[in-house]
Structure 1
């Protein structure tokens, strides 16, 4: 494989936007990120998070040994041709079909008509059409830029393939070997004005035939191609035409946990766990002393310098003899126990909290608020989907996940990010009264019917996966607060996330919302969210959020939306009032309904907050 450096992205983007199987649309070409099997593993730092690793093993198998950061070159390298400059993840050009911008020639890279130029200049690397004569074939021979063909086909099983240009133009298998041309015939770039034509036989086809119901008759079956694995497999799904760069081309399937201190841990044991990659090789106290001095000089593992060498050595030995802990519960239950403890921990390196009273105006609904001055989130990539996004933590059956590797993975890509947040715990007595209302039950039944139809359409068990009406209410409130907080806290809306605690069937009767931010490129916080979580500020924000949610600019259509009619998974909600960025929502903007919070134009008596504005 050629080792040419062609572009740069942030490490966190390899988890959320450009992981294995995803397309990276660079200025002059498009590439697909290859399988993590070929990443430079020694440069992928291990992340110590046993609770997340245990849950990853449940999904991908017990052979997963570790969670690892993407390979990073931490030192600036000016020589782009050096070995150090090539640290990163492997990619290859995809789609393989390119189009000449001058003459419209369509041809795959393998045909040899296009050549890679300036491969050692990141900003200038591109393909060119050698000897192009222009669209009419009369211009002087010259090199013209070649860009990726903007049409691809994908299926719900995660396969991605080049658009079948020859099949499409010739309406099936054909022995014609003529070259193809892509051209526009109209003033706009609508698909009705885009055409493909064969130079040899004159066959032509309008690109509008590749979309909608017509695509079923005009496209071949899916070949089961995984370009990041360079393999094909059996597939019975219908392919769908997608555009290069479309958001439905790659959705990450992730698992995430908050790094919380276990009940038996101490601040020192947490530090030992965070730096275990370095501590695991220490064999004596003198060697440990030299390591701690190095930490002090570099600023790595802040807080470790407060302990004596003897204390640290004992903690290392205790960690070595502790064995593997068994985590047999869901991901969120341990977090709920820490967040709702009478005195949550406030002196851990990656978890600092402070309990404050509930806002005066909402004391009936809210039990208490916890300000998380520092928290750490660890995320692991376990696969990806195309066409349809997976549900949060979907390791079972929601949407079929495509694999990251060609065999059972021994490690998975992961990231750890630091941030801050506000946790709101709700009053269970008030919740139980709200659950008993007949209008709440009516909305619950309606959303459940839509949920069953949605899953049945996707050939999934219709009786599984419904989160409940409590989750929908808390989820909608989280979105309302995210949209309101983004206007004041200093973070952009896409960097604020939610975590909903609404399990009523497990060990705990949960009812809480965590609004938090976590940034991969900063160790620490701005303090904006914590400031907004103080009682006087949170009361004002909730008042404003509920007031805005009462009327949507798309009403009455939004308020009247019935999820059973179109098998969607939201009621009175839309982009104008409740939806947030994909990076913010843990459920893909599903299970939302403003009527569960406050009276709307359509439903007046199902509101958890009896709001008069």
Structure 2
């Protein structure tokens, strides 16, 4: 990770999508920096990721000007010369917040006012830091000596995605003031609670505790939001949201808004058409048959596009022309990105497209054949994720709702022509449930009552956040059942499959529409630092293993260590998005869940100490 002058640290490419994307703060050991907008990234260093369905979905959200999905820039070779141009390849950042605090004398000032110096270390970038030159201590009596300066730990953020420096002068002087005295940070007690942390002006001796920056007092002591986007170096014209104080490093300062798709074979595509689709980056710029021969030779040399040599260059050229003209294209404007995936997963004949998608049907577990219609072992799959924007203070809106939740802040100053993305390979298990069994369960009056309670919690949750309409986005009892069962199975699989629990993910299919009802889910691995295809998860999808794991998961879910509190939880009372679920029984890592541990209820899966009538698995 670098800015124009100094290398200051490093993060993994996948973190630039989930944790440290544009607009996010990176809290390095000695610095705090903000990742700049993608309009000043090194686009030529960002490799293109091909996934037509996902690109079409992104274009629907951000506009047709988006031409490609690209990985974050990275150096393709290790270099021992830390001062070379290759060593400086990375993502541009800038110091933020601007205000620093001297650890010895408590001086609080912006880094660009001349009181602080940047000490670079090109050979150990993590040691790069700011220092207060010639610090003489808090009483001014020590010999001059450079002292470390650390970022001020408070910022202002709002629900419109704006982020700003904390208004230290405004805060200390209780509003606009002509006083420009030096500010000092000091502690008044043994603990580091906010009421013991103070800021004082050396000139007028005004002082205020940081406790007055939060809650109701914060609304009185803080100015309105200025509409600042520091990652874009711009201010919006106006913002009607209240700015609130947030701590540096707080998780609510940046939430990614992303979309993902599985790379699936195109239904009814011939093997040659699928090869053209999978390797379109290589074929897109080919202008004639003569140039095509060189491209085929290069692909063969790399060991890619298996089966391409079975066709003459003329036949391949005809297929390229057909793809370029759109004659062989499917409808890529389908709003439901999971629809095509569901059709491929439920196709009577398992489809394959090496190396992106390999599936094999296996028998459902013997004791669950009345409720499980199909099990597919996904020996290889590829997932592509794209970053659309981000929110602050409030997490992105819930499932299926666009435009009614927190505002998604932009990734660039202008409409982007590309967006950051990454791809991961893995393996998984697809389980399809019997539609008749699910539909019969949904008609149970007790299930409908439990569904109404969750819907009430959903409405209260949205009303409390001023989201309209309040009823929008509720996924229904079917989703809650499948989602909870997926969580229970993830927790069980993590104990045996050999993968890190946080690298196991879910993908729920629970839509009900005129094209047909969905009832199933995929549990899969997608670890960015490995192919994730070691076979440990697929092996557990075989009938004898899956039956044992499902039985264990259901039995374990009947009793939670937090019962009876967990089982008695009513989402309508506290306006929450889950019922009988908690960290002890149903929650999984945020990286594993597609809906942030929302819409979960053990009572819809198995009988609990509070409710035995709503369980789908009554005999578990």
Q: Distance in 2 between matches of 1:404 and 1:347?
A: 33
Q: Distance in 2 between matches of 1:240 and 1:534?
A: 52
Partner SS state of residue 123, structure 1: helix
- CA deviations 1:422-462 (Å, max 9, x no partner) are 11100111112211111111111111111122222333211
* Residue 327 of structure 1 pairs with residue 332 of structure 2: yes
CA contact (8 A) 2:6 2:120 kept: no
Pairing of 1:22-101 with structure 2 (within 5 A): 22-101=24-103
Q: Distance in 1 between matches of 2:615 and 2:284?
A: 54
**1:308 Cα deviation after fit:** 4.8
| 2:430 counterpart residue number | 423
Tell me the matched-pair count: 611
Partner SS state of residue 196, structure 1: strand
Cα gap change, 1:296 to 1:575, in 2 (>3 Å): same
Give unmatched runs, 5+ long, in structure 2: none
Q: Distance in 2 between matches of 1:306 and 1:385?
A: 48
Give unmatched runs, 5+ long, in structure 1: none
CA contact (8 A) 2:49 2:68 kept: yes
CA contact (8 A) 2:259 2:386 kept: yes
Q: Distance in 2 between matches of 1:7 and 1:185?
A: 34
Cα gap change, 1:266 to 1:105, in 2 (>3 Å): farther
**1:392 Cα deviation after fit:** 5.0
| 2:552 counterpart residue number | 544
| 1:283 counterpart residue number | 287
CA contact (8 A) 2:357 2:379 kept: yes
Q: Say which of 517, 528, 543 aligns to 2:525.
A: 517
Q: Distance in 1 between matches of 2:583 and 2:109?
A: 40
**1:405 Cα deviation after fit:** 1.2
Q: Distance in 2 between matches of 1:256 and 1:197?
A: 49
* Residue 446 of structure 1 pairs with residue 453 of structure 2: yes
TM-score (norm 1): 0.96
Q: Distance in 1 between matches of 2:188 and 2:365?
A: 62
More displaced 10-residue stretch of structure 1: 277-286 or 203-212: 277-286
**1:304 Cα deviation after fit:** 6.0
- CA deviations 1:248-304 (Å, max 9, x no partner) are 1111101111111111323443333333222223334454444444445555x3636
Q: Distance in 1 between matches of 2:91 and 2:277?
A: 27
**1:521 Cα deviation after fit:** 2.9
Alignment RMSD: 1.9
Q: Distance in 2 between matches of 1:302 and 1:462?
A: 50
| 2:441 counterpart residue number | 434
| 1:153 counterpart residue number | 156
CA contact (8 A) 1:253 1:392 kept: no
| 2:226 counterpart residue number | 223
**1:191 Cα deviation after fit:** 1.8
Q: Distance in 2 between matches of 1:212 and 1:154?
A: 14
CA contact (8 A) 2:229 2:235 kept: yes
| 1:140 counterpart residue number | 143
More displaced 10-residue stretch of structure 1: 219-228 or 515-524: 515-524
| 1:367 counterpart residue number | 373
TM-score (norm 2): 0.94
Q: Distance in 2 between matches of 1:235 and 1:181?
A: 30
Cα gap change, 1:332 to 1:250, in 2 (>3 Å): same
* Residue 529 of structure 1 pairs with residue 534 of structure 2: no
* Residue 355 of structure 1 pairs with residue 361 of structure 2: yes
- CA deviations 1:65-109 (Å, max 9, x no partner) are 221121222111222222222222111000111111111111111
| 1:258 counterpart residue number | 262
Partner SS state of residue 54, structure 2: helix
Q: Distance in 1 between matches of 2:535 and 2:262?
A: 18
Cα gap change, 1:133 to 1:60, in 2 (>3 Å): same
More displaced 10-residue stretch of structure 1: 431-440 or 418-427: 431-440
More displaced 10-residue stretch of structure 1: 150-159 or 519-528: 519-528
More displaced 10-residue stretch of structure 1: 23-32 or 285-294: 285-294
**1:368 Cα deviation after fit:** 1.4
* Residue 3 of structure 1 pairs with residue 5 of structure 2: yes
| 2:171 counterpart residue number | 168
* Residue 462 of structure 1 pairs with residue 465 of structure 2: no
* Residue 130 of structure 1 pairs with residue 133 of structure 2: yes
Partner SS state of residue 422, structure 1: strand
